[in-house]
Structure 1
Amino acid sequence: MQKRNNYTEIEDFLGDESFQLWILSKVDEQGWEEWTLENLQRAKLVEDARLLLLAMKVPDSKLSSHQVHESLQKTWFKIEQREELSRNTLKTRKLKIQRYWFSGVAAAILAGIFSVWFFKGDVLSNDNEITYKELVEENSEGLVEQTNNTEKSQTITLSDGSSVLLQPNSKLSYPKIFTGNERKVYLSGEGFFEISKNPKKPFFVYANELVTRVVGTSFRIKAYPDQQNVEVLVRTGKVRVKSNDLVHAPENQEIVLLPNQAVRFARKDFVFNKITNITADPVLVNSATNIEQLSFEFTDIPVAQILETIEQAYLVDIDFPQDKLKDCRLTTSLSDQPLAEKLKIICKSIGNDTNYEMNGNQIVITTSGCN
């Protein structure tokens, strides 16, 4: 075992199995710690070897950077105690060197750890996986949270007239009234958004590691906390997607999506995969909901049929006086409108004091008949 007294290079330590056992498993059968503390110069060489070995093995290690830092502090404390006992006249100078070198070692360890993670493709660590709770806590406004625990989608109407079709096992947090120069909501799960146009007040959806920015458009976001991918699919308008500010991304890439385009974000690898033709992607095609497939372009169509299309799209129940509207027909475009705006347009087109009331998934239309 005295061969280690002749170790002069880091490679000598890395090739020693008992040294590896001590560093990686904290099993010191050969008295490595005592041997290291005997000599300050030796301690530096040992710690250099420790640094490299930990960096090489960090993906398999469960040690956090805090634990590594704490371990180094304890080791240097013991070294300083030995130096104090020896009453070395160069004590002050050596302690300064030690502190300086210790700071360098700690920084190098962190650099080594992150570089190993990067080159192994593990750019997205657990620290970069953003939870719904973290997103909501970043917002200082008082938020309303709605959770869909039912087996069918629920329609949420926001204060600006925008609508969200929230899927089962999903939840949305939003302010009662949008204030300031931005509109922000927070999604966990899946929702189809139809945003009221307001160029002066952009709309942001925060979901997992992504933030989606729009002015007025319709799109779907699928961002479940236990799934590895986040999907954003655009039906109308233009959408901008990028990583949110809580993520320590290697680069802040922004993806611009147009109608019938989508992006699939791999959370672990932090990779954006833009899909320019959603019809060629079987996963997106099979996951399309009614609201994404139905047409809202109507030419001389009975009002009853238009209302039935809305029922199918939003999974709502619409109660209206069929006898008074049986002869009513409309030509209109509702493709880029939130649910509330669709209903307003229909009611205004019918005329004669036609109004609607919406309570959850129940809509009641009152009218005295067509113009």
Structure 2
Amino acid sequence: MIDYSKFKVEDFVRDASFQRWVEGTSPQHTAFWEFWEEAHPEKSETLAQARVLLLGLKNQPTAISDDEISLEVEHMVDLIKKKPFWGRSVLYQWQRIAAVLVVIGGIGGFWVKYRPSEISTTKTQIKTSKALPKNQEVEVSNNTPADYTATLPDGSTVKLKKGSKISFPERFLGDKREVSLTGEGFFEVVKKDNQPFYVYTNTVVTRVLGTSFNIKAYSKDEQVVVAVKTGKVMVFPISELKKSQKNAKYQVQSLYLTPNQKATFERQNERFNKALVEQPIIITQPTETPSFDFENTPIKEVFANLKKAYNVEIIYDSDVMKNCSVTAPLGNEPLFVKLDIICKTIGARYEIVETKVFINSRGCH
């Protein structure tokens, strides 16, 4: 393994892995170098100098080869050694070189965008664990006011809320992809049928194959909430997992969730409550989205459209309501607003029980 701790500016600039990081073309190299820099703060200034120099060289108006980059680096290193700018720091010297490269390369906004102070600030806001041997645990924490999206080894992503963190291996090996979450994160998981994806919180396990969902599991909260946007999710308590680990024949008691459904886990009594999310969204593809512009439309078709669009089961007495029809030019209103309008139109009312909508009506004449 390369001992980067002994590298100088010119060594970093020539290193292929470092170049991939600076170019931003490889999530794996990006993760490694962010972790490495966190573990070697004494090298932060050297890395900043190398990054600035490499970006300046790469952004020349004409193509420049790696060999030419090496020659330029050697020339600049010699220049600094022979003609130091007295009274100035080494970093200032590299800043001057970078400024020259910016002018030559015609990328005037470069130094403002990539000045070392901003890079350093970003690194302290999004903290990561120390550099570790291959396939060891990696931790990403979001201590910024805004959401932060972390990319996982398989290409899946998680958008972390403020004060949240996620840990995962450098590579997903074996028959599972496993991550641990503290706080709140929205996951978009790449589908792999032969390698299910598991999210562990301190009380709940969430298992998926490929889908998008949100988990809210702050340690101070009395509840854990899992809400599904797309796909299918299975959730169960950590206690069930422990039972299955002790007894291979034990069948885990789990709960299945589909789009627009959520499960709220009460930590104290270890019980799940299943319900609709606060604002159900349309889940069908744009080309499949049914029209909500109803004109004397039979109630059966109206409810069928809503069910298809939102994946919400609507229970009603078809015999009692067989003469009901709806005329209403509905569009982008939330589901529950649509139901309010429809029920007022036909003199009915609705109530929500867990994930189902029940319509109460005396019929239409």
TM-score above 0.5: no
Structure with greater helix share of residues? 1
| Alignment TM-score, normalising by the size of structure 2 | 0.37
Larger Rg: 1
Q: TM-score, normalised by structure 1?
A: 0.37
Determine which structure has greater relative contact order: mean sequence separation of CA pairs < 8 Å that are 6+ residues apart, divided by chain length: 1
